[in-house]
């Protein structure tokens, strides 16, 4: 539990701007939507789909390659593929 808390603190120190923007975006979304329960269900569904896409992508890459090398230049390619998948899920999901 302590390791999880320290990892969360370390990640929050690196990316607190993204967390603040996400909270502001959720509040704006809740402000302008007619049904807050439907909005939260939609957000949960999209987060779940992104998590599932990440897990499936990782398993497929792991079974095809055996070991994923997160080194230059492949780290940029992997990140770009994941960003495109997330954009599709958010736009169409």
pLDDT at 1: 66
Question: pLDDT tens, position by position, for the chain (93 residues)?
Answer: 677 778 777 777 777 787 788 889 888 888 888 788 888 888 888 889 888 888 888 888 888 877 777 777 777 888 888 888 888 888 886
Q: What's the predicted TM-score (pTM) here?
A: 0.62
pLDDT at 71: 78
pLDDT at 14: 74
d(CA 61, CA 78): 10
DSSP the chain: -HHHHHHHHHHHHHSHHHHHHHHHHHHHHHHH-S-HHHHHHHHHHHHHHHHHHHHHHHHHHHHHHSS----TTHHHHHHHHHHHHHHHHHHH-
Nearest CA to 46 out of 89, 82, 84 is that of: 89
Q: How many Cβ atoms are within 10 Å of 54's Cβ, its own excluded?
A: 13
């Amino acid at each position: 539990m302590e390791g999880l808390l320290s990892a969360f603190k370390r990640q929050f120190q690196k990316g607190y701007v993204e967390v603040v923007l996400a909270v502001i975006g959720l509040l704006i979304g809740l402000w302008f939507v007619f049904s807050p329960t439907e909005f939260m269900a939609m957000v949960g569904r999209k987060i779940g789909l992104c998590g599932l896409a990440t897990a499936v992508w990782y398993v497929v890459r792991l079974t095809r390659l055996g070991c994923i090398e997160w080194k230059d230049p492949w780290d940029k390619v992997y990140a770009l593929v994941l960003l495109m998948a997330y954009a599709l899920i958010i736009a169409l999901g």
